[in-house]
Amino acid sequence: MGKYDIKTPAGKVWAALRGDDPQSTPFTAYEIFLSQSETERSLRNRGLCILRRVNSYKIEYRGINHRSVYYTEKGREMVRVVYETPYGELSALKEKAGSSYWNREFLFKSPDDYKKLYALIRSMTAVPCYDFANEVISDCGNDFVIRDNLPLEPLQHFISSDLMDMTDFCYEWLDNQDELLKLYGAFVDFNRAVYKIIADGPMEISNYGGNVIPQIIGREVFEKYYMPHYEEAAEVLHKAGMLIGCHFDADNTPIMDLIAKTPLDYIEAYDPGISPSLSEAIKVFEGKAIWLNWPCKWHHASSSEVKEYAQELLCEAGGYKKLIIGITEDIPPENFFEVMEGIAQGIEAFHS
C-alpha cells in the first residue's frame, strides 16, 4: 500500500480502513448511483469518495455455449440468459430494476437440472484482465477508491444469484443436500482459483461475496460453510498486502460474534437500522473497519433530518476512527440528493 493523502476523499477512506486517523469521517457512494452533475461535483469537492467496483478477472465458460437475449415486455427491460450444457439447456430471466436486476426465473427448475448445473459450474474458468483494471485505476483520481470483487461465497451462489429460488434452496437443502454440496464443491474450486488472480492483480482491496441472510442459513451453516472460505481467501490476499471485507447488509444479530471471529478487515453495508446499533457493532467487531450503509429507514428523510441523524451516528461512534458512512443501497431517486446533502452537512457539522 502506497502513501495516501488524508486531504483527499480516497485518502480518508484508506486511512479509516487501515486504522489511521482520517481527521473526519469518510463518506462514500457506489459509482452506479451517481451521474456527472454540478451537485455531484459539489459533493466530491466536499469530500464524497466514489467507490468503483471493478473485477480484475472475467469468467469464461469452456465448452459451453451461452447467449443473452435482451427485449422489452410491457415497458420492462428483460434479459434471458441461456446456457447449452452437454445434458441440456439452462435458462434464467431477469428484469432491469434501477441499478440492478430482479430475478424472474432461475436456472434451477427441478432436480433434473443438477447434472446441467454441475457441468456449467465446472466449465467456469477465471481469466485475469489486469489491463482493464489498470486502465480504470489510471483514469480515476483521488476522488475514487477502486475495489475488486471475489465471487459469491460457495454456498451463497444458491441464495444471491440467478441459480436458484430461495424457497427451492431451502427445500433442496432438506431433500437433496448431497446434490447441492456437489455444486458447492465445484464453486469452492472455482473461487480458490480466483483468490490468486486477485492477489496478483493491481487492486488493494476486495469484497468477498455478501448479502448473507442469517435468518435463512443460521449460525451452524455460516460457521461451517462460510467462515472457512473467508479465512482461506484472507490468507491469500493478506500475503499480497490486500484488504478483504464482506457486504453484510441484513439483520446480523444471529451471527455478530461469528463475524467478529473472521479475519475480514472490514464489514461493508452494515445497517444499524436493522442490525444491532453502531455502538454495539463497534464493541463486537473488535477493531474491524465498519463501512456503513446509510440506514434504509432514513431514505425518505429531509436533508435537515438527515444532517441530525448523521451527527447522532457519529456521536454514537465515540470517535471510532475505522468508520465510513456509505451509500451501498438504492435511495429513492426523488430524495437521493436530499440524503446526500444531509449526510455531507452532518459530517461537516460534527467535525467543525
| DSSP β-ladder status, 76-85 and 65-73 | antiparallel
Q: Is the dihedral of CA 6, 12, 14, 19 positive or negative?
A: positive
Beta bridge partners of 68: 81
Sign of CA dihedral 109, 115, 121, 124: negative
At 245, the amino acid letter reads: G
At 4 the three-state DSSP class reads coil
Answering whether pTM is above 0.85, one says yes
Q: Under CATH, which number does the domain 9-56+129-351 receive?
A: 3.20.20.210
Which residue is it, cell 434464467?
Answer: 92
Are 17 and 243 in contact, with CB atoms under 8 Å apart? Answer: yes
Amino acid (one-letter) located at 189: D
Please report the pLDDT score of residue 1 as a whole number. Answer: 47
Q: How far apart are CA 100 and CA 33, in angstroms?
A: 11
User: What is the structure's pLDDT at 3?
Assistant: 67
CA dist., res. 194 & res. 126, Å (int): 6
**What are the 10-residue block averages of pLDDT along the chain, 352 residues in total?**
80 96 96 83 89 97 96 94 98 89 95 98 98 94 95 96 94 97 98 98 97 95 98 98 97 98 98 97 96 96 97 97 96 92 96 93
CA 144, CA 317: separation in Å to the nearest integer? 25
Domain assignments of the chain as residue spans, ordered by start: 9-56+129-351, 60-123
Q: What is the DSSP string of 88-144?
A: EEEEEEEEEETTEEEEEE-S--SGGGHHHHHHHHHHEEEEE-HHHHHHHHHH--TTE
Distances (CA, A) of 283 to 103, 229, 279, 287, 293: 37, 24, 6, 8, 18
Find all residues with CB under 8 Å of 127, minimum gap 6, and list them.
57, 58, 59, 60
Q: Are the C-beta atoms of 154 and 188 separated by less than 8 Å?
A: yes
Question: What is residue 26's three-state secondary structure?
Answer: coil
Closest CA to 110 of 154, 164, 186: 164
The answer to whether the CB of 244 falls within 8 A of the CB of 238 is yes
